[in-house]
Chains A and B, each alone.
Chain A
Amino acid sequence: MLFWISTIVKVLVAVGFLAQVAAILLWVERKQSAMMQNRIGPNRATIKIGNFEIRAAGLVHSIADGIKMVWKADWEPSGGDHLLYRLAPIIAIVPALCLCAVIPFAPTLYVDHARDLYDPAWATDVATAARSIPMQIANLDVGVLFVFAVAGAGVIGAALAGWSSDNKFSLMGGLRAASQMVSYEVAMGISLVGSMMIFQTVRLDEMVTWQTQHCWGIFVQPVAFVLFVTAAIAETKRVPFDTPEGESELVAGYFTEYAGLKMAMFASGEFVEVCVSSALITTIFLGGWQFPFVQLTGLEFHYLGLNVSWHWAHFIVVLVGFITFSLKCVFLIFMQLQVRWTLPRFRYDQIMRLGWQMLLPAALLNVLVTGTVLLFLNGPTH
């Protein structure tokens, strides 16, 4: 019972949050780019109630955009495949939403012991474990593999959109999206192999546990971090990898023929991808919900000759974990937007070359080096 209620609540919160995230990120992106470029940014949209005006530093623009999207004529090209045309935006956004299912955003909460000091025995005690809430919607054994499988499905949406809209620009955009995303998925997958070898698991919650006990993934796999972040940005199809949309040559690429809410689904799908990829990077490389030097029992600092042990109640550790995870995600989203407004777009052949000739060999080399080092450290396991 507790399991089902908590799962439904978690799903509602996660999906509800991700559905809103596009509106917020739209504002963040506009305001952030304005600050970077010595501009003021959006500030004109106003909600007027009597003499009272709300401008909320431009946040109202997102509401205005939403209203505009709803009222746009839902135009469809007369040629093309109507079923696939309508299906494509859904296929594009749903995988991105699904990804957040496997990401652990806080340590498991043991309801019966919320005020006690953490005890590792809880996890093995059947009665206690039964009344625990894992802070993760679905605790899958396949973990990272699920991420790759589902993220790979996102490309179908873009390709179908390009194919079904009966427009050469769309088709070119769809083709580019398909080849770019498939290429970068390869590098993305292989860049994580090193991490899996070190963490000895593909489950995301166990990856975080390993990182809390040892050190963050970015320190043991710095090369993989750079490769994964690059590939993740390429997967979101945003600048500097936005050739599938390529405004200067393809109008709007694979969603040229989309209007109104369907177009909004593609646009918000991009923002959801930014969010989810930030959460993934946090989980795999930045220690997930771990605040530096905080263990499940509280603050433990045993370095530099200091011996600090500050024990916290279990629910506080969970709360701190959740806040830490959110802050790390916010930071990574911020950095991704910053990259988007800093770098110029690559040419299409440069993107392909970067994917196949740089990232992929580097990822393979990373696997080789990681394997060699592990072999030397641990010795042959058989």
Chain B
Amino acid sequence: MPGKTKVLKKPVRTIGEQSYLLEVVKGLGTTLKHFFQGTGQMVSGNVPDAVKHPLAEGIATISYPEEKRPYAERWRGVHRLTHRDDGSPRCVACLCCSTACPAQCIYIKPGEYPEGDKRRGYERYPVEFVIDELRCIFCGFCVEACPCDAIRMDTGMHMTAFDEKSAFVYDKDKLMSMVSQHGTQKSENPRHEPGEAGHPGIDRLRGGH
């Protein structure tokens, strides 16, 4: 909107404010009020639960490792690899995630299922699956990219501090061992193994292109 200016009034100082002494007394009143409120809460043990009532009057400290503020449902934490019903990784080693990753911190070594396995020919599996969590920028692109809901960031854990860099490099076993915020290692999305109804049954030999 051109030509429209909001003129702010210069705040006027009263003599009371200018003399400062009165304001000092007022300020002391405020801090004293908080002091007695806080001390009263500490002594009586009536400290409000800062996690459940973050806006309550009085002491608002969260004693961190013992008390935690819950993270949002969709908050991106440390990765986990989801499991199938038989406990093997859902990942099919398609490399979508490592391709999408802007930090290039995912390394996957794909492998073919052994002869006779009914998944052979349909999909591969990760022989190695490594994420360098120190390079990761927690963008979540890997999760978006995954066609199989095999990688998720719903563990609700932020990266812990370790003493050495190698500890930040999470391998397949470590990623498989992580659980979601709700304690599951699986994914809610259904999955159909080869042979089951609903499995398209298209493999690399009979793909039709």
| Interface positions of A (Cβ within 8 A of B) | 32, 34-40, 226, 335, 338-339, 341-343
A277 CA to B4 CA in the complex, in Å?
A: 57
Do B31 and A226 touch across chains, with their CB atoms under 8 A apart? Answer: no
Given contacts A39-B61, A40-B61, A226-B21, contact A34 B28 (CB under 8 A): no
Partner of A35, one of B24, B35, B60: B35
Shortest distance in angstroms between A56's beta carbon and chain B's nearest beta carbon? 13
- A335–B21 CA distance with the chains assembled, in angstroms: 15
Cα of A341 to Cα of B28 in the assembled complex, Å: 9
The answer to the question of B127 belonging to the interface, with a C-beta cut-off of 8 Å to chain A, is no
Q: A32-B35, A226-B21 are in contact. Are A38 and B60 (CB under 8 A)?
A: yes
The A-contacting residues of B in range 42-67, CB under 8 angstroms, are 42, 47, 58-61, 63
Interface centre among A39, A341, A342 (most CB of B within 10 A): A342
CA distance A148 to B49 in the complex (A): 51
Complex Cα–Cα for A162 and B34 (A): 38
Compute how far the CA of A38 lies from the CA of B53 in the bound complex, rounded to whole angstroms. 14
A38 touches B59 (CB 8 A): yes
Q: Is B147 an interface residue (CB 8 A)?
A: no
Pairwise interchain contact B59-A338, C-beta atoms closer than 8 A: no
Evaluate contact between A35 and B28: CB separation under 8 angstroms: no
On whether the beta carbons of A37 and B27 are closer than 8 Å, the reply is: no
B residues less than 8 Å from A34 (CB atoms): 38
B38 to A38, Cβ gap below 8 A? yes
How many contacts between A and B, using CB within 8 angstroms?
43
The answer to whether B38 and A36 have CB atoms under 8 Å apart is yes
8 smallest CB-CB distances across A and B, nearest first, come from A35-B38, A40-B61, A342-B31, A36-B35, A36-B31, A35-B35, A342-B27, A38-B60
Among candidates B21, B27, B32, B63, residue contacting A40 with C-beta atoms closer than 8 Å: B63
- CA distance in complex: A135, B42 (Å): 38
Interface of B is mostly: helix
**Could you list which residues of chain B lie within 8 angstroms of chain A, going by C-beta atoms?**
21, 24, 27-28, 30-32, 34-35, 38-39, 42, 47, 58-61, 63
Do A343 and B27 have beta carbons less than 8 Å apart?
yes
Which residues in B have their C-beta under 8 angstroms from that of A226? Answer: 21
Q: Chain A contacts of B24 at CB under 8 A?
A: 339, 342-343
A35 to B42: give the CA distance in the assembly, Å.
Answer: 9
* Cα separation A339 to B24 with both chains bound (whole Å): 8
| Distance in angstroms between the alpha carbons of A354 and B34 in the assembled complex | 29
- Shortest Cβ gap from A320 to chain B (Å): 27
Contacts of A343 in B (CB 8 A): 24, 27
**Given A35-B39, A35-B42, A226-B21, A40 contacting B59 (CB threshold 8 A):** yes
Give chain A residues whose Cβ lies under 8 Å from the Cβ of B21. Answer: 226
Once the chains are docked, how many angstroms separate the CA of A39 from the CA of B31? 13
Q: Most A CB atoms within 10 A — which of B35, B47, B60, B61? A: B35
Q: Cβ of B34: which chain A residues have Cβ within 8 Å of it?
A: 35-38
Instruction: Supply 20 A–B pairs (Cβ within 8 Å), ascending by A.
Output: A32-B35, A35-B34, A35-B35, A35-B38, A35-B39, A36-B34, A36-B35, A38-B38, A38-B58, A38-B59, A38-B60, A38-B61, A39-B38, A39-B59, A39-B60, A40-B47, A226-B21, A338-B32, A341-B31, A342-B31
CA A342 to CA B23, docked complex, whole Å: 11
Query: Smallest distance from the beta carbon of B25 to chain A beta carbons, Å?
Result: 10
Separation of A32 and B59 alpha carbons in the complex (Å): 13
Nearest CB of B to A352, in Å: 16
User: Are the C-beta atoms of B35 and A338 separated by less than 8 Å?
Assistant: yes
**Residues on A with beta carbons closer than 8 Å to the beta carbon of B28:** 335, 338-339, 342
Q: How far is the CA of A34 from the CA of B42 in the complex (A)?
A: 11
> Knowing that A35-B34, A39-B61, A40-B42 are A-B contacts, what are 12 other residue pairs whose CB atoms are under 8 Å apart, sorted by A's residue number?
A35-B35, A36-B31, A36-B34, A38-B60, A40-B59, A226-B21, A335-B28, A338-B28, A339-B28, A342-B27, A342-B28, A343-B27
CA distance A35 to B41 in the complex (A): 9
The complex places the Cα of A36 from the Cα of B29 at a distance, in Å, of 11
Q: Please give me the residue from chain B that is nearest to A341 by CB atom.
A: B31
> Smallest CB–CB gap between B53 and chain A, Å?
13
Nearest CB of chain A from residue B67's CB, rounded to whole Å: 11
State A18–B24 Cα separation when bound (angstroms).
29
Complex CA distance for A338 and B28, rounded to whole angstroms: 7
